[in-house]
Structure formats: C-alpha cells, structure tokens
Structure 1
C-alpha cells in the first residue's frame, strides 16, 4: 500500500485547500486539569447582557464625569433624594417679622434637597444673617423633615440719621427700615453714632420715670453729649460730664415753676454755674411787651 502525501504548492509552502493539518496548542502540565474542567462546563451568556452592560458602562461614565467635574455632592444629593430621603417638609416656628420665604432662600437647599447631604450648620449661619434673626436651631427628622426654630431680635430704639429712620437693637444693630405705628413708644436717638450709645440715653431717662414720657428724642451732639428734645419742642442741652445731675436741675425747675411748659426754645445746662434760657419768637415778643409795660409804668410814677 502506497501512502499519499499532500503536495506542497510551489515554493510558498502552502497546503492545498482543505488539506492543511490542524495545529494543537500544548498547555503546560499544571494548566491541563483546569482546562479539562472548564471544557465540560456549559457556559451561556444571559439574554440582553450586552445591552445592560452597555447601559451600565454609560451610567458609570456619566457618574465618573460628574465626580471629576466637582459635582460629587450633587450626585449624592440626587441619588439619596430619589432613594426616599428627599426633604419634603420644612417646619418653621418662632418668627413673626421674618418671612418664611426669606428663611427658605437663606437655607439654600439646592436642586435636589436631600436630608442626608443637607448642611444644617451652614444653613443656620446663613439664616442668622437675616436682619431680624438672632438665633436659629435646625433639626433633621428622618426621612424627610426639617424643623427650624427661630429666635428674633427685639427692637430697642429708633435711630434717625442722614434722613433715614430705622429700628435698632440694644447693641445698635439695624433691624429694619420699616418703622410703623407699633414702635411709636420706643425711644428715639438722633445723630452719628447715636445707635451705638442708645442704651446710654435710655438708661439716663430711666432715672426720671415721670419725666421720660415727655421726651421725644435724644440728640447726640458731636459724639460727646446729649440734647433732650421734649414733645412740646423744648430742647434741654446737657453737659458732657454728669448729665444726670443737670437733668435733675431742669426737672426740679419744671416741678416748681413749670418752666419747661413756657414759651422757651431751649434750656442750656452745659455749664454747671450758669443756666441759660433761649426764648421762642412768641416768648421774645411777650418779654419785650412786658419790659415796655414796666418801663411805661415806671415813667408814670
């Protein structure tokens, strides 16, 4: 029997079509057993695994891009909000002058308000910058509620300066430029830096409880001393040193002679050894008429 070997085509060393022998890969000895086990397994890919894997890939790419672009907190907020931890209710209490809209804007909860990522400390600091707000407490009630308790500042006096009239606190902080009839009984201070020294003027008036209701304002002059303006327009000019003693003198004169109810424009008490009255125009005319009458009566005698 003669064996037939396939002939090689020319010098290329190619085998005729369909006659090329198969090549076997010889694995190292230590890999042969695992290879036999894997060859016996029936490994099948689940349906649509390619589509799902592609979607997962694009989602992972999007998240990676957002993280790389500095949007980490936005991603986390959105994810936790969609997971049932979105802020659905904000309970605000304790405020009467501050609007709820102003409070919510100051809290800046963001496009995806999540109770997990909401920064209560930073929000509290922003709310406390509102004019009327003195102190704020913010509590998180999981899963979806914020409680905001506000303590507001109390108006202490009215400050008039540069043509403006505003409400101020005891320490001189401006609260509001809206001064309505509710605050008509508050003491008024006038002048540069009078806001910082309003407590000083109010403390002075407290020593004269029956006289204080007759006062309409305290004017700080050159940042050194006070003029007390009464409701009838009389101005009491107090000294820089020991103004309380000077005011005692003015009140005593009024109690004994009703001097502050007469036709005078001002009482000058700046010098302890001298008391000066400045008359109104009507008071001046009355004084001139009195002097003429006395002179006439004196000439007749």
Structure 2
C-alpha cells in the first residue's frame, strides 16, 4: 500500500509551507521603484541636513569677542594686527597654537597662551619683555630687553632712565627687523646692572674696544676686561675692607690687571 506522502512526492506536490512562490513581475517593479525613491530622498536630504547642522554650529561658535590680558606697552590694535584673524570665523576653525606663534612674532611679547572659551570668546594672555637698556650707535638708538632682544627704535622719553650701551660694531646692529643681540651685548647688560645696583645711577657702558669694557657712572669711569665679574668682586671686596677709598671726585678706576686697582685722577 502506497502512503499519502509517497504519492505526493511522485506527483510533485509539496506542502504549502515548502512551496517556493514566485513573485509576480508587478510586485518586483514596485519594490524597485520604492528603493529608487528612498535613495533619491536620502541623497538629497542628507546633504541638506548636514548643511543645516553645519550652519547652526557655525552660528553657535561664531567668534564675537577677543579678550587680551597682560598688555602694558603693546597696544591691542598692534596685537590684533599680528594675529591676522579673519573677521568672519568660528572658534571651531581657529588654531590656538598657530595664533600663539603669530603673537610671539611681536618683539615685545616674551610668552603667549591662547585659549577658546565657548561659545564665542577667544582669550590671549601675554607676558611682555622688560626693557633693560638703550643701545646707541652714532645717532641711532634701540631699546634692548632683559633677555637681550632688540625691541624697537628708541623714540619714547619713558626709557630715559635705562642704562646706555655705546658703540657695538655696525655688523651686529639690527637694521629693520628685531633680532637677537650677540653675547657681548648681553655681557654689557650684566655689567650695567652691577653698576646700577652699586651706585643707583644710570651707567654708560662702552663696547668700542675689543675684549674690554669701559663704563661710566656718576663721576667715575671704570676699565674692565671681558671677564669683569671677578674684577668687580675684587674691587668691591677691597672697598668693604677699607683698602680702597670710595672715590667721589672724577677719576678712572682701572681693574684690568690681576691683583691691582689703579686709580687715575682726572683734572
């Protein structure tokens, strides 16, 4: 006796749950049209949505205020000119390290830090260099910072109490751009500082003679070698011991020779 299952297999009849129904052509066409419509909507809608989000974010982070701390001699206008920030920009597109490097290009700025304060403010904190002396050559004068950087031409009377350095060779003089001064000028700054601390008056240090320094303060004129620190220390020690009297009349004090203090009176 043949079972029902065997008969179905021979006749090619399968249960409904195993039949492979073929989709009709209209159904396939409708499905394809639906996918095309969805792709078109997505291709147009996503860029439009991104542009709207980008526009809203740009409006939220638009640069509206620049706050600067630490300015004393440098004007805000000069600093903004050096920074070169576009008028229409956002905090998101700004690069604080790059702005800090541009600020440091100003000769008066010793250090600078730049930070973004969301949503609309950029803060710049600077430390200015301190003028330490006037560098004079012929009729030209420059302001020298404490770290030996030539700051600018000397045109302001506010620097009238600074020490004066005279006579560097023209080959090491700055022309139009601020530059680092050589070690010899930094040594002269150190000598001027020692004389000012001792006498409380404006010294003048002459660098005309190679390997030597000539310095004047009050009515006194000193002669040093390049290695002036031990020579100055010896002179101050002899003064404290009373072996040398403190001169008040115009004279030249020569300390260039080891173990000697030569005082020449001026008529």
- What band does the TM-score fall into relative to the shorter chain? 0.5 to 0.7
Alpha-carbon deviation of 1:123?
0.4
Determine the structure 2 residue equivalent to 1:127: 103
Q: Closer, same or farther in 2 for the Cα pair 1:107/1:229, shift >3 Å?
A: same
Mapping of residues 150-299 of structure 1, within 5 Å = 150-161=126-137, 163-192=139-168, 193=182, 194-205=184-195, 209=198, 211-213=199-201, 215-232=202-219, 235-241=221-227, 242-244=230-232, 245-246=234-235, 255=246, 258-260=248-250, 266=252, 268-271=254-257, 275=262, 277=264, 279=266, 283=267
Unmatched 5+ stretches in structure 2: 1-20, 169-181
Partner Cα separation in structure 1 for residue 27 and residue 226 of structure 2: 108
Determine the structure 1 residue equivalent to 2:64: 88
Aligned 8 A contact 1:157 1:167 in 2? yes
Matched, 1:35 2:26: yes
Alpha-carbon deviation of 1:249?
7.0
Show CA shifts across 1:95-145 (max 9, x none): 011121222222222353111110111001110111111111212122221
Alpha-carbon deviation of 1:179?
4.8
Q: Which gives a bigger RCO, structure 1 or 2 (Cα 8 Å, sep 6+)?
A: 2
Aligned 8 A contact 1:159 1:188 in 2? yes
CA RMSD in angstroms comes to 4.1
Unmatched 5+ stretches in structure 1: 1-29, 61-74, 284-301
Alpha-carbon deviation of 1:183?
2.4
Aligned 8 A contact 2:195 2:217 in 1? no
Q: Closer, same or farther in 2 for the Cα pair 1:217/1:274, shift >3 Å?
A: closer
Structure 1 residue matching 2:185: 3-state secondary structure:
coil
Q: Closer, same or farther in 2 for the Cα pair 1:277/1:104, shift >3 Å?
A: same
Aligned 8 A contact 1:157 1:168 in 2? yes
Structure whose alpha-carbon radius of gyration is higher: 1
Determine the structure 2 residue equivalent to 1:23: none
